Structures are given as structure tokens and as C-alpha cells.
């Protein structure tokens, strides 16, 4: 089977670091799905506006490898414990495909690149290729009583974010602030990092956000 991207997504993440580990965790994150020219047909999205959520099938394009390993070390497990690749959502897979459920905000038919799909809660790097789009169907896709293996035993890890006014004032587009704070609250650091003096850098939109973490509090120390 020979497949090619139908679209590319435009997000605020030029790099992998800081991207939420799953879709839907940061609902303030907004993104645009721009179709390739041959798929820019309004008929192709007819009826999609009636759905609140959609599935995206995409490629881990920043993690292409010529080979794969049967086990990986999930970051959520501290990077030390091995799990079977098919028991994880690791990008290092035989076929590097991802699956994300995102909120459908609107479809812009009048955009010069239209139709353009506007979504929230995406966990994708800017420029990620999209291979398919499907509607989320509640009665078929929702499994409220699902058992999630080792993931069920992991604590939720969120941080309190302190964004000083002298830093927030440097952000010209104030609409980015809720999404940035929500992203930082999910703790972008690898789970095995715990150095309170270390300064991390997060590329977000056209910003370089520098921060430290200590005792469950993330302090933004600079924005460039």
C-alpha cells in the first residue's frame, strides 16, 4: 500500500520538546490542518462540521528510523523500564504512525488554502503530515470502563505555573498565554529529571521560554 499525506498541521511547536504527551491534555492549544492542493475540495469535508471531535492519523515524521526495536523505555516510567513497543505509544515503531483525538473548532471554507480545519488539543509538532481524518463517534469510540494496564498506576503529573508579569508582558499575542501556561503545567521535562537549578528552554510559537521547576512549581525565568 502506497500512501501519502493529505494535509499538514500547523501548531505552536517547532520542536518536539514540550509537546503534550497525549492529545486532549491541553485544550487551549489551537492548530490548523491545511490540505494538500489536490485535496482542497469542500465536498471532502461535507458533514464534518456536525462533529465535536475528530481522529487524526499522522506520521512521527521527526522520528524516522531505518530499523525498530521490539521494546522501548516509556518516559512516563522513568526511562528505565522496558515495555513492548505495541504496549506503548512510542514514536519508535515499525510503522511510525500516530493517532490523536482533537476537538473540532470550525472549518474555514473561505480561506485561500481552504477548506482549513481548526482544532484544539493537538499533540503534534508543526508541519506533521496527516494521512487521514475521521469523525469521532461516541457510541463506538468511547470505552468508559477500559482498563489501561500500567498506565492506570501512574500518578498524574501537573505543575503550578508562575508566569511573572515581566515575562508575560513580552508576549505580544496575549491569546497564546493560556495555551502556554497549560502546556507548561503538564511538565515538559523528562520524568527522570529533577534538578531544581536546571534551566530548561521551550520553543513555543516564536518564543523561547526558559523555566525552572522546584517542589511542584514551574517558574518562568525568561522569555525571548
pLDDT in tens, 51-93: 999 999 999 987 777 788 899 888 778 778 899 999 998 888 8
Per the prediction, the chain carries an average pLDDT of 93
Task: Compute φ and ψ for 200, nearest 5 degrees.
Answer: -100, 155
Give the pLDDT band of residue 135 (cuts 50, 70, 90): very high
> Could you give the CA distance from residue 166 to residue 90 in angstroms, rounded to a whole number?
38
Give the pLDDT band of residue 114 (cuts 50, 70, 90): confident
Whole-Å CA distances, 44 to 3, 117, 129:
18, 12, 18
Mean pLDDT of 155-165: 89
Give the pLDDT band of residue 150 (cuts 50, 70, 90): confident
Question: Domains plus CATH for the chain?
Answer: 7-60+96-141 (2.40.30.70), 160-223 (no CATH)
Task: Compute φ and ψ for 49, nearest 5 degrees.
Answer: -65, -15
> Could you give the CA distance from residue 179 to residue 15 in angstroms, rounded to a whole number?
16
Whole-Å CA distances, 72 to 61, 86, 123, 192:
18, 9, 20, 16
Q: Tell me, what's the pLDDT at 155?
A: 66
Q: Are 128 and 100 in contact (CB under 8 A)?
A: no
pLDDT digits (tens, 9 = 90+) for 204-217: 999 999 999 999 99
Give the dihedral of Cα atoms 200, 16, 36, 34; nearest 10 deg: -50
Q: How many helices (H) and strands (E) does the chain have?
A: 3, 12
pLDDT digits (tens, 9 = 90+) for 21-53: 899 999 999 999 999 999 999 999 999 999 999
Highest average pLDDT, of 39-53, 54-68, 109-123, 178-192, comes from: 39-53
Q: Tell me, what's the pLDDT at 198?
A: 95
Amino acid at each position: 500500500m502506497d500512501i501519502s499525506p493529505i494535509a499538514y498541521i500547523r501548531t505552536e511547536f517547532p520542536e518536539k520538546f514540550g509537546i503534550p504527551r497525549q492529545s486532549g491534555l491541553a485544550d487551549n492549544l489551537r492548530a490548523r490542518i491545511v490540505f494538500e492542493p489536490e485535496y482542497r475540495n469542500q465536498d471532502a469535508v461535507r458533514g464534518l462540521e456536525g462533529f465535536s471531535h475528530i481522529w487524526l492519523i499522522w506520521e512521527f515524521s521527526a522520528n524516522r528510523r531505518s530499523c525498530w526495536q521490539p521494546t522501548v523505555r516509556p518516559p512516563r516510567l522513568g526511562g528505565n523500564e522496558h515495555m513492548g513497543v505495541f504496549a506503548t505509544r512510542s514514536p519508535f515503531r515499525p510503522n511510525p504512525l500516530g493517532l490523536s483525538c482533537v476537538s473540532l473548532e470550525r472549518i474555514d471554507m473561505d480561506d485561500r488554502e481552504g477548506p482549513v480545519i481548526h482544532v484544539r488539543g493537538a499533540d503534534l509538532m508543526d508541519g506533521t503530515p496527516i494521512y487521514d481524518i475521521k469523525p469521532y463517534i461516541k457510541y463506538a469510540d468511547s470505552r468508559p470502563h477500559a482498563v489501561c494496564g500500567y498506565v492506570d498506576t501512574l500518578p498524574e503529573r501537573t505543575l503550578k505555573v508562575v508566569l511573572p508579569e515581566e515575562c508575560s508582558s513580552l508576549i505580544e499575542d496575549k491569546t497564546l498565554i493560556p495555551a502556554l501556561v497549560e502546556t507548561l503545567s503538564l511538565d515538559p521535562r523528562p520524568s527522570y529529571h529533577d534538578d531544581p537549578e536546571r534551566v530548561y528552554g521551550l520553543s513555543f510559537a516564536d518564543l523561547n521560554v526558559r523555566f525552572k521547576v522546584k517542589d511542584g512549581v514551574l517558574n518562568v525565568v525568561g522569555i525571548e
